[in-house]
């Protein structure tokens, strides 16, 4: 059996008295497209924060590429984060940098040569359809453009995994579909995608694997699943 890319094993996360996650287990294999669904407070964001090493689990462990990411020494966390790409509901763009610079930043942090940056950034901007907006600041963009910038930044360093936390949460349906289509294309090219969302329509239309959480517990995990909760 092939080892999964992400292996979440009996993970619990407690914030004081609040049980955000209780013994959640599931695995994601390379190349999969997984929708992580559930109402607000179900624990979707907690799982993502654990995957990005912003939080540590109270119990259990998470293996990524067969390494327990919460046993990584502090200085290796940035290196781990460069292997994953994350897209956020609130875009998290650097306000004093242009679209081009925001995307380039993800390469600059890992010390990529300027030549590589000049080559790769325009390509990825073209992929997300932002070539004409390269020199605009985030303030000057629409919600969809901001999210596409965020997506470009998450992809420019060719990550193994793309994690999207409610990427369509602030967007209108038409724009939402543009973003989802991009995720779909990226997945087709081989990148593993974990999409956290509570958008029923999108999940049902995608017909991809669905993992559902409720009250911090895993209640549903099915290939070609539907939005239940």
Partner 1 sequence: MISFWRVIKFGFQNFWRNPWLSLATVFTFALTLFIISVFFFLVLVTQTVIKAIEEKMDLVVYIKDEAKEAEILQLEEAIRNFPGVKSVKYISKEEALPVWQNSPYSEETKQIVTPERNPLPRSLQIKVKSPPEDLEKVTIFLANPQYQNIIRSSTRTSGLSYKKNKLIITRLGGITKFVKKIGLMLAIIFLAISILVIFNTVRLTIISRKDEIEIQRLVGAKNSFIQGPFLVEGVLYGFLATILSTLFIYLLLRYTSPLILQYLGEISFDLKQFFTSNLFRIFVVQFLIGVFVAGLCSLVSVRKYLKI
Which residues bind to partner 1, rule: CB under 8 A? 52, 54, 75, 78-82, 86, 92-97, 105-106, 108-111, 113-114, 153, 157
CB of residue 197 to partner 1, shortest distance in Å: 19
Q: Confirm if 168 and 160 have CB atoms less than 8 A apart.
A: no
DSSP 42-94: SSHHHHHHHHTTSS--SEEEEEETTEEGGGS-GGGHHHHHTTEEEE-TT----
Q: Looking at beta carbons only, is 150 or 192 nearer to partner 1?
A: 150
Q: Confirm if 59 and 53 have CB atoms less than 8 A apart.
A: no
Please count the CA atoms within 13 angstroms of the CA of 113 that sit on its side-chain side.
3
HEC string of 185-224 equals HHHHCCCEEEEEECCHHHHHHHCCEEEEEECCEEEEEECC
CB of residue 57 to partner 1, shortest distance in Å: 17
Q: Looking at beta carbons only, is 20 or 87 nearer to partner 1?
A: 87
Q: Looking at beta carbons only, is 52 or 175 nearer to partner 1?
A: 52
CB of residue 143 to partner 1, shortest distance in Å: 17
Q: Looking at beta carbons only, is 82 or 214 nearer to partner 1?
A: 82
CB of residue 73 to partner 1, shortest distance in Å: 13
């Amino acid at each position: 059996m092939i080892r999964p890319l992400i292996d979440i094993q009996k993970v619990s996360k407690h914030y004081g008295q609040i049980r955000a996650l209780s013994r959640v287990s599931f695995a994601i294999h390379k190349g999969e497209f997984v929708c992580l669904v559930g109402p607000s407070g179900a624990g979707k964001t907690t799982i993502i924060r654990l995957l990005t090493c912003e939080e540590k689990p109270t119990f259990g462990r998470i293996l990524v590429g067969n390494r327990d990411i919460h046993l990584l020494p502090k200085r290796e966390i940035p290196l781990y984060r460069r292997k994953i790409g994350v897209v956020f509901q609130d875009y998290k763009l650097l306000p004093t940098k242009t679209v081009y610079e925001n995307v380039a930043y993800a390469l600059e942090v890992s010390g990529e040569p300027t030549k590589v940056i000049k080559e790769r950034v325009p390509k990825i901007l073209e992929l997300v359809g932002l070539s004409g907006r390269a020199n605009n600041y985030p303030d000057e963009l629409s919600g969809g453009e901001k999210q596409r910038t965020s997506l470009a930044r998450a992809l420019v360093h060719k990550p193994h995994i793309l994690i999207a936390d409610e990427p369509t949460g602030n967007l209108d349906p038409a724009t939402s579909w543009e973003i989802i289509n991009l995720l779909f294309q990226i997945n087709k090219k081989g990148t593993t995608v974990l999409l956290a969302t509570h958008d029923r329509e999108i999940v049902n239309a995608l017909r991809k694997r669905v993992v559902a959480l409720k009250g911090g517990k895993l209640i549903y995990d099915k290939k070609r699943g539907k939005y239940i909760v």
